[in-house]
Amino acid sequence: MICPVCKKDMFVVEYKQIELDYCHSCKGVWFDAGELELLLEAGGLKEAKQTLGDVLKLPEARTSEKKRRCPICTINMKKVVIGGEKGVMIDACIRHDGLWFDGGEVADLIKIISAKATGKKETESEIMGFLKDVFGG
């Protein structure tokens, strides 16, 4: 897979049987829709199919940040804010191919999740929890 930011090859990180695509130079992470589904199903969230739909229903974030193209379908992705009010802006593929986290965004997300530490089982917290598992240690 080609990094949508640096246009370089990414490599794959598998942890607890879930795969992420990771860019070595910009530290960006691609979370593929299929992997997301596996993660949420393993976490006992039934509505895994809706996940990306939920994220995509969030309002388009107003920003000057450059639009990124989905590494799978090459269509411009939608910028949305996850993790509540002061959350992190990520890119979501409008064709439900997956989610893109810029290099800094993963670290920011991990900070948020550490501060909040909600016990609730939710799509967003599952995603952030897993990213923390992989990149937080």
5 and 68 Cβ atoms separated by less than 8 Å: yes
Nearer to other proteins, 16 or 116 (CB): 16
Instruction: Identify the DSSP state of 116.
Output: H
Residues sharing a CB contact under 8 Å with residue 3, sequence separation 6 or more, in sequence order: 9, 10, 23, 25, 26, 28, 30, 71
Contacts to other proteins from residues 34-63, by CB under 8 A = 34, 38, 41-42, 49
Nearer to other proteins, 32 or 91 (CB): 32
**Residue with smaller CB distance to other proteins, 54 or 61:** 54
State both tokens at 118.
């909600």
| Of positions 3, 6, 7, 15, contacts other proteins by CB under 8 A | 15
Minimum separation from the CB atom of position 41 to other proteins (A):
5
